[in-house]
Structure 1
Amino acid sequence: MILVLRVAVATALAMPIAVTAQPERVADTGAVEAVLSQYKAAIKKLDAKGTEDLFAVDSQIFETGGYEGTYTTYLAHHLAPELAAFKSFTFSDYKVSVRFEGPVALATETYRYRIEPKNGAVAERIGVATSVLTRVGNSWKIVSMHNSGRKPKGS
Structure 2
Amino acid sequence: MQKLFKTIHALGLSILLSAASLAMAHGDKPHQERDPEMFSGLETGAGKAVQMFHRALREGDQQSVLNALADAVVIFEGGGVERSAQEYAGHHLPADIAFLQQMKINQQELQVREVGDLAYAYGRSRLQGDYKDKALDLQSMETLVLKRSGGEWKIVHVHWSNK
Would the TM-score normalized by the shorter structure come out above 0.5? yes
The separation in 2 between residues aligned to 1:56 and 1:31, in whole angstroms, is 16
The separation in 2 between residues aligned to 1:99 and 1:87, in whole angstroms, is 28
Q: Aligned residue for 2:111? A: 97
- Indicate the structure with greater helix content: 2
Please report the TM-score for the alignment, with normalisation by the length of structure 2.
0.65
Q: Which runs of 5+ in 2 are unaligned?
A: 1-39
Q: Aligned residue for 1:135? A: 148
Q: Aligned residue for 2:158? A: 145
The separation in 2 between residues aligned to 1:58 and 1:71, in whole angstroms, is 6
Quote how far apart the aligned CAs of 1:29 are: 5.4
Which one is further off, 69-78 or 127-136? 69-78
Contact 2:74 2:84 in 1 (8 A): yes
Q: Which runs of 5+ in 1 are unaligned?
A: 1-25, 151-155
Structure 1 residues 122 and 47: CA distance shift in structure 2, 3 A:
farther
Quote how far apart the aligned CAs of 1:53 are: 0.9
Cα RMSD for the two superposed structures? 2.5
Structure 1 residues 28 and 91: CA distance shift in structure 2, 3 A:
closer
Q: Structure 1: which 4+ aligned runs deviate by more than 6 Å?
A: none
Give a deviation string over 1:126-146, Cα, whole Å, max 9, x none. Answer: 011111101121210001110
**In the alignment, is residue 126 of structure 1 matched against residue 131 of structure 2?**
no
Bigger Rg over Cα: 1
Contact 1:29 1:98 in 2 (8 A): no
Q: Give the % identical residues.
A: 25
Quote how far apart the aligned CAs of 1:60 are: 0.6
Structure 1 residues 121 and 71: CA distance shift in structure 2, 3 A:
same
- AA matched with 2:48: A
Count of aligned positions: 124
The separation in 2 between residues aligned to 1:82 and 1:104, in whole angstroms, is 26
Pick from 41, 45, 50: which aligns with 2:59? 45
- AA matched with 1:129: E
Contact 2:73 2:157 in 1 (8 A): yes
**In the alignment, is residue 54 of structure 1 matched against residue 68 of structure 2?**
yes
Partner SS, residue 124 of structure 2 = strand
The separation in 1 between residues aligned to 2:124 and 2:98, in whole angstroms, is 24
Quote how far apart the aligned CAs of 1:84 are: 4.0
